[in-house]
Amino acid sequence: MKGRISPCLSFLLFSVFCLTAITSCNNTNKTTESDSGPVVQDISSDKTADSDKTATLSDKGTDHAVLGEKFIDLLVGAKYKEAFSWFDEKMAAALPVDKLQLVWKSIGERFGPFQKTIKTQTTKRDGYSIALIFCQFKTKVVIAKVVFSGAKVAGLFFFPNKGDNAQLYDAPPYVDLKTFSDKEIAVGKGKWQLPGTISMPKGKGPFPAVVLVHGSGPHDRDESIGPNKPFRDLAWGLATRGIAVLRYEKRTKEHANAMHGIRESVTTKGETIQDAGLAVELLRSTEKIDPKKVFVLGHSLGGMLVPRIANIAPNAAGFIIMAGSTRPLEDLIMEQTEYLLGLDGSLSDMDKKTLEEVREKVKRVKDPKLSAKTPSEKLPFSVPAAYWLDLRGYDPAESAKSMKRPMLILQGGRDYQVTMKDFQGWKDKLNKKTGVTFTLYPSLNHLFMEGQGKSKPSEYQIPGHVYKKVIEDISSWVKTINTH
């Protein structure tokens, strides 16, 4: 198995992937303590599990245990079409063959080649039969949770085994835990309320503050991927330097089921933009915060959406864009797929077929005939047409021309997800605009962590921290903005 696809496709591309790639059995997502919503692949966060602590598990031997193992055997044998034929109607629509292939390959990229099945356990819940297959990869045991409705697969989850020495987070050296405290807080009210954390410097204040806006995927407040937590690094690093920071669970993670219920109409407004605006106003009304010095920092998708966030957050003092794309998302999907499949310098027949399928779906996104009625399974990663239509014609850099607040635009030179083409896109449109600062870090990847050589998805699994100079540059910039 080549195993070269990124560890979390939704992280690399954009979050509606995880709205579409869900199970058709909405009530089965509580079977294990690790499940963070009904997403098809839940190995991007630091949550892990060993087994279901609320349901009784039986040993291998039931029909669904055997079926579960056979299904995994199909994936191991790269028989993706045959595995796809096991899906029920809703799973087939949510997880087309090309995406199933990418998900499985991503696990191999993260944890090395599949080696063997250790054991299988089964349980029943809400009329569904669930098989937990403990799969030994080279560096970690990954549990495959296969949810059956009869003999059809109605749900699919992957997550690391809890007993597998999960990596603990260590604060980076540039953080002084004695200089600030974390406080739990809620962003918004009612149905879409989100739990969050404010890292507040010690002292009387008032302090400048920053809202962190996530990249693609159903992220937690730390924007966790593998052992790394870039948003916690940013929050603690800036709080150490006297800047308060608010980070919160993303709506697509905290309210995964509810978001799935409206997925055909979801756009970036409900997914990201509204919550960012609410977070700004929350900070402005928080004790010890200077209401005239609240900034927004968007990473990846969050950075791309900064001009739209600015429209609903006119009271923000300034905006920081970290690895924000300036090109259409469908173009990034195509570019990333080509990059990842070509990392070893060769393309298999399956790789070539995957590229052609993605290329055709990208063409449909660009087709003027695209409408809300276009079936999602005919579009990249089964993302509904409403999302694409909302982004059609959106030019982040062009839109940023009309922004009235200062901007700091940061880019990692080794980033293959949002590349130097995007950084140049910002510069081409904004280089004559006053109040805009551009900073390039040649050795940093998409997470703004240091590395060498050609960037690969596997480096996201190496414990690291946001580069200290990034923290220092953001801190210095925030403190130099005069809003009084």
Structure confidence by residue, pLDDT tens digits, 262-315: 989 999 999 999 999 999 999 999 999 999 999 999 999 999 999 999 999 999
- Same fold: 9-160 with 177-326+395-480: no
The answer, yes or no, to whether the previous bond of 38 is cis (omega within 30 of 0) is no
Predicted confidence band of residue 17 (pLDDT cuts 50, 70, 90): very low
The share of the chain scoring above pLDDT 90, in percent, equals 63
Domain ranges of the chain: 9-160, 177-326+395-480, 330-374
Task: Give the pLDDT confidence of 194-248 residue by residue, as tens digits.
Answer: 999 999 999 999 999 999 999 988 899 999 988 899 999 999 999 999 999 999 9
pLDDT at 167: 52
CA 11 to each of CA 301, 333, 458: distance values in angstroms, whole numbers, following the listed order: 9, 12, 14
pLDDT at 11 over 80: no
pLDDT at 386 over 90: yes
Q: Is 446 a catalytic residue?
A: yes
The share of the chain scoring above pLDDT 70, in percent, equals 86
Q: Is 214 a catalytic residue?
A: no
Helical H runs in 13-161? 17-20, 63-76, 80-84, 89-94, 97-111
- For 177-326+395-480, the fitting CATH number among 3.90.1150.10, 1.10.730.10, 3.40.50.1820, 3.40.190.10 is 3.40.50.1820
Catalytic residue among 415, 422, 465, 475: 415
Average pLDDT rounded to a whole number, residues 374-381: 90
| DSSP structure class, residue 460 | G
Of 237, 243, 242, 262, give the one whose Cα is nearest residue 252: 262
Catalytic residue among 24, 45, 300, 475: 300
Average pLDDT rounded to a whole number, residues 114-143: 88
Residue type, 17: F
- Specify the pTM: 0.75
Return the higher-pLDDT residue of 305 and 167.
305
Distance CA 287, CA 377 (A): 48
pLDDT at 162: 62
pLDDT at 186 over 90: yes
Residues in the chain, overall count: 484
pLDDT at 38 over 90: no
Distance of alpha carbon 326 from the chain centroid: 18
pLDDT at 24 over 70: no
* Residue carrying structure tokens 């809300």: 372
Average pLDDT rounded to a whole number, residues 387-399: 97
Q: State the chain's mean pLDDT as an integer.
A: 85
Of 162, 132, 124, 125, give the one whose Cα is nearest residue 60: 132
pLDDT at 27 over 80: no
Catalytic residue among 255, 260, 446, 465: 446
Q: Considering the domain 9-160 in this protein, what is its CATH number?
A: 3.10.450.590
pLDDT at 36 over 60: no
pLDDT at 139: 82
Exposed, middle or buried: residue 402 (CB in 10 Å: 0-12, 13-18, 19+)? exposed
Average pLDDT rounded to a whole number, residues 409-438: 97
Distance CA 147, CA 153 (A): 6
Residue type, 46: D
Residue 101: count other Cβ atoms within 10 Å of its Cβ: 22
Q: Is 35 a catalytic residue?
A: no
Residue type, 83: A
pLDDT at 428 over 60: yes
Torsion-angle region of 12 (φ positive above 0: left; ψ -120 to 50: alpha; else: beta): alpha
Sign of the torsion formed by the C-alpha atoms of 216, 260, 228 and 462: negative
Task: Give the pLDDT confidence of 312-370 residue by residue, as tens digits.
Answer: 999 999 999 999 999 999 999 999 999 988 888 888 888 899 899 999 999 999 999 99
Distance CA 306, CA 213 (A): 9
Contacts of 391 (CB under 8 A, 6+ apart): 267, 268, 328, 329
